[in-house]
Amino acid sequence: MNKPPRWFYVVAVIALLWNLLGCVAFIGDLRLTAADIAQMPVAHQALYAARPAWAVAATAVAVFGGLLGCIALLLRKKWALPVFVLSLIGIIVQDIGLFVLADAVKLAGPVVAVLQGVVMVVAIGLVVLSRKGVQRGWLS
């Protein structure tokens, strides 16, 4: 097994922190009460009401898969690749729920699309990084 370059570890740690934030945000979202949601702007309330349960479950797969994939990167395990692919699929399914069924841009504005775009780019980057790690022998 080849030793990865230093930047690999820097990226893996930053990605781990990113995904930890995603997990914290997801857990915080699940803990919102009806009273919390009632205090949100009407558009955000509508977005919460329009989210299908399967899209919320896909979000769980996305964030916890991303976290697990980052741990695998830091442990230099090649199973990081399929876990990141699964996380990316979770993001795609979540986005179908957000943008196709719930019309999040109409309900919450374009910032939602920008944020989800960043999430998608990071997820694709982690798939590419883990694939590169497997190909170069950094991950076993």
Of 6-10, 20-24, 93-97, the poorest mean pLDDT is in: 93-97
Give the phi and the psi of residue 13 in degrees, each rounded to 5. Answer: -70, -45
140 found inside a domain: no
1 found inside a domain: no
92 found inside a domain: yes
pTM higher than 0.85 for the full model?
yes
- Which structural domain, as residue segments, surrounds residue 115? 6-135
93 found inside a domain: yes
101 found inside a domain: yes
108 found inside a domain: yes
Structurally, the chain folds into a number of domains equal to 1
Residue found under tokens 């699964």:
86
- 30-52 tens-digit pLDDT: 999 999 999 988 877 888 887 88
Give the model's pLDDT for residue 111: 80
28 found inside a domain: yes
91 vs 134: CA distance, rounded Å: 23
Give the phi and the psi of residue 76 in degrees, each rounded to 5. Answer: 60, 50
Q: Which is higher by pLDDT, 69 or 53?
A: 69
